[in-house]
C-alpha cells in the first residue's frame, strides 16, 4: 500500500517495441515515486525512452510489465473509459510541439477538456462556468488578447502557454510535460519555465517534465536520469550539467 502523500508510483516498468523482427526494449525496470506537489525533471539522451515513460505514466500506453499507481489506484489495467476519465480530469499533458487543434481558436482549444467531459446537454448547463475558468487561465497565462486567434497565428511561446492552459483547464493533479521548452527560443522558454515553477508552488501541482533545458531542470525538486532503460537520481548540479551535455541535445 503506497504512502498516502505519494501521488504517482511506477513499479518495475518494462516496455519494448517491435521494429520488424527486432525487439527494442526501451524501459527495463523503471521505478518512480512522486509525492504530491513535487516538481520532477527527467533528463536523458534522445531515444532513451523518456516520452515512452511519460505515456505509460499518463495511461496513453500500457507497460509490458510493471504497475502504475495513481492516487492509490492501479491505473495501467483500468478499462478504456476509466482511463479516458482519468486523462480528462486528473492528468494534464503538454507536448514539445504544443499539439493545439488547428481548426479551433485558442479559447476553444482551452475549453476542449471541459467539452470532452460534458455531453451536449450538460455542456449547455455548464458552458458559462467553463468559459469563466478558461478565461481565468488565459488571463493568468497572459493570452487574453489572443483568445480568438487560431493557433497558427501565434508564436511558439504563446502556443505552449495555450497548451498549458488547456492541460490545466480541468484542474488536474498531475501535469506531464514532454520537453515543453524544446521548441522555444530562450525567452519563451524562460517564461514557460517560470510559469511551471509558479504553478507548482501556488497550486501544489505535481509536475513531471522531460527536459533538455538546463534552467528548467535546475528549478526541479529532483532530477532523474533515464539511461539504459532505468531511472537514476541525479542531484549534483555538476553531474546534471554533465548529464545534459552527454545527452547532446540541449538547446
Partner 1 sequence: MYKWLLAWRYLRTRYLALASIISVMLGVATLIVVNSVMAGFANKLRDRLRGLLADIIIEHRSDSGFWNVEQKVKQVYEILGDRVEAVSPAIETFGILQFSYPHSREVITRPVLVIGVEPSSRARVGQFAQYLLNPEHQKNPEHCLEVRGETARRFRKVMESMRRRMDWRSMTYGKLDPEELVRRFDPGQNGPTSPFDGDSEAPPLPPPPTPPELPPEMREPSGIILGYSIATCRKPHAQVVDAEKDYFLLRPGDRVSLMLLTSFDLPGHDGTQGYPRPMEDTFVVTDLFKSEMSEYDARLVFIHLRDMQRLRGMVNRAKALYIKLRDYRQDAAEATRLLSESDAFPPYSYLVQTWEERQGSLLAAIAIERGILNVLLFLIIAVAGFGIFAIFYTIVVEKTRDIGILKSLGASHTGILGLFLSYGLFLGLVGAGLGTTLGIAITVYINEIEQALAYWTGQEVFNRSVYYFDKIPTDMQLSMVLLVNVGALFIAVLASVYPALKAALLHPARAVRWE
Ligand X SMILES: Nc1ncnc2c1ncn2[C@@H]1O[C@H](COP(=O)(O)OP(=O)(O)O)[C@@H](O)[C@H]1O
Residues 147 and 139: their CA atoms lie apart, in Å, by 10
Q: Which of 117, 149, 183, 250 is the binder for partner 1 (CB under 8 A)?
A: 117
Q: Which does 113 bind (CB under 5 to 8 A by kind): partner 1, Mg ion, ligand X, none?
A: partner 1
Please list every residue from 167 through 186 that binds partner 1, using CB under 8 A: none
Q: Binding of ligand X at residue 245 (CB under 6 A)?
A: no
Nearer to ligand X, 146 or 212 (CB): 212
DSSP-assigned letters across all residues of 171-183: --SEEEEESTTTT
Q: Which of 120, 152, 202, 238 binds partner 1 (CB under 8 A)?
A: 120
Burial 43-76 (b: 16+ CB within 10 A, else e): bbbeebbbbbbbbbbbbeeebeebebbbbeeebb
Rank residues 19 and 145 by Cβ distance to ligand X and give the closer one: 19
Q: Which residue has the cell 527494442?
A: 24
- Rounded to an integer, what distance in angstroms lies between the CA atom of residue 89 and that of residue 96? 21
Task: Extract the runs of DSSP E, i.e. beta strands, from the chain.
Answer: 6-19, 22-35, 39-43, 65-70, 73-74, 91-94, 174-178, 206-210, 222-227, 230-233
User: Which residues inside 50-109 make contact with Mg ion, applying CB under 5 A?
Assistant: 51
Which residue is it, cell 505515456? 55
**Partner whose footprint covers residue 87, from ligand X, partner 1, Mg ion, none (CB < 5 to 8 Å by kind):** partner 1
CA distance 198 to 200: 5
If you search the block for the grid coordinates 484542474, which residue do you land on?
A: 171
Task: Tell me which of partner 1, ligand X, Mg ion, none is bound by residue 19, counting a contact when its beta carbon lies within the kind-specific cut-off of 5 to 8 angstroms.
Answer: ligand X
List binders of ligand X among 10-69 (CB under 6 A).
Answer: 17, 19, 24, 26, 44, 46-52
Residues of this chain that interact with Mg ion (CB under 5 A) are 51
- Site residues for partner 1 per CB under 8 A: 51-52, 55, 58, 60-61, 80-81, 84-89, 93, 95, 97, 99-104, 108, 112-113, 115-120, 123, 166
Contact residues for ligand X (CB under 6 A)? 17, 19, 24, 26, 44, 46-52
Amino acid at each position: 500500500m503506497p504512502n498516502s502523500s505519494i501521488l504517482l508510483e511506477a513499479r518495475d516498468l518494462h516496455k519494448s517495441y517491435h521494429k520488424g523482427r527486432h525487439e527494442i526494449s526501451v524501459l527495463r525496470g523503471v521505478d518512480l515515486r512522486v509525492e504530491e506537489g513535487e516538481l520532477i525533471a527527467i533528463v536523458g539522451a534522445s531515444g532513451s525512452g523518456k516520452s515512452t515513460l511519460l505515456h505509460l505514466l499518463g495511461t496513453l500506453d500500457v507497460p509490458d510489465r510493471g504497475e502504475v499507481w495513481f492516487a492509490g489506484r492501479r491505473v495501467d489495467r483500468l478499462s478504456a473509459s476509466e482511463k479516458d476519465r482519468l486523462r480528462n480530469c486528473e492528468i494534464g499533458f503538454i507536448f514539445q510541439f504544443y499539439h493545439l487543434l488547428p481548426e479551433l481558436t485558442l479559447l476553444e482549444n482551452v475549453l476542449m477538456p471541459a467539452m470532452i467531459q460534458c455531453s451536449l446537454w450538460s455542456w449547455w448547463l455548464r458552458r458559462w462556468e467553463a468559459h469563466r475558468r478558461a478565461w481565468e487561465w488565459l488571463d493568468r497565462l497572459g493570452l487574453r488578447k489572443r483568445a480568438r486567434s487560431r493557433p497558427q497565428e501565434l508564436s511558439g511561446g504563446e502556443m505552449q502557454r495555450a497548451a498549458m492552459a488547456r492541460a490545466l483547464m480541468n484542474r488536474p493533479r498531475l501535469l506531464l510535460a514532454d520537453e515543453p521548452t524544446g521548441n522555444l527560443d530562450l525567452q519563451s522558454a524562460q517564461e514557460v519555465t517560470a510559469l511551471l515553477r509558479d504553478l507548482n508552488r501556488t497550486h501544489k501541482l505535481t509536475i513531471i517534465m522531460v527536459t533538455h533545458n538546463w534552467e528548467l531542470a535546475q528549478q526541479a525538486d529532483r532530477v532523474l536520469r533515464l539511461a539504459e532503460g532505468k531511472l537514476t537520481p541525479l542531484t549534483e548540479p555538476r553531474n546534471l550539467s554533465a548529464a545534459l551535455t552527454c545527452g547532446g541535445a540541449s538547446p
